[in-house]
Amino acid sequence: MFAFASDIEIDAPPERVWALLTDAAAYPTWNPTVTEVRGEVALGRRIVVHAAIANGKGFPVRVAVLDAPRRMVWRGGAPLRFLFRGERVFTLTPAGQRVHFSMREEFSGLLAGLIRRSFPDLQPAFDDFAKALKRAAEAPPA
């Protein structure tokens, strides 16, 4: 198993942050780590996230948990999940009109150790995602 994570404090209400996280079409407008998200962010739905770090390659995931405005979980991986799978958890912890944002992705399965050797370091992309979310959420409404 291996993982990447990022945390940041955001001076915006949880509902504002949640709206950004669940608006698939808008991801590329605020998030430099994502070139496109296809599909609708809804419980049980499949979306395809196209990552800048992978030259725009699409990664299909299923929205496994959608607990507005606190927690969202995306799950994806190999067709045989016991071989390789990823689970990304987005957590919003409200504190008045502020929110603590946490994003963590764990990769596991029988092939995780082998895949880890050729896997890119996603930490900078995770940190960029969190910083971009903060900027977008704290920006004055258009």
| pLDDT tens figures, 66-104 | 999 999 999 999 888 889 999 999 999 999 889 999 999
| Residue 81, pLDDT score | 83
* Per-residue pLDDT at 102: 99
Q: Is the pLDDT of residue 55 over 90?
A: no
Residue carrying structure tokens 């957590």: 91
| Spatial separation of the C-alpha atoms in residues 51 and 88, rounded to whole Å | 14
105 contact partners, CB below 8 Å, separation of at least 6: 3, 4, 5, 86, 87, 88, 89, 122, 126
Mean pLDDT of 99-112: 97
Which among 124, 67, 128 has a CA at the least distance from the CA of 93?
A: 67
Total tally of structural domains belonging to the chain: 1
* CATH number (domain holding residue 15): 3.30.530.20
pLDDT at 142 over 80: no
pLDDT digits (tens, 9 = 90+) for 21-53: 999 999 999 999 999 999 999 999 999 999 998
Measured CA to CA, the distance from residue 58 to residue 35 in angstroms comes to: 9
56: containing domain: 2-138
- Tell me, what's the pLDDT at 56? 79
Residues 6+ apart with CB under 8 A from 8: 100, 101, 130, 131, 133, 134
- What's the whole-model pTM score? 0.94
3-state secondary structure of 135: helix
More confident residue, 115 or 68: 68
CB 107 within 8 A of CB 88: no
pLDDT value at residue 141: 78
Output the pLDDT for position 129: 98
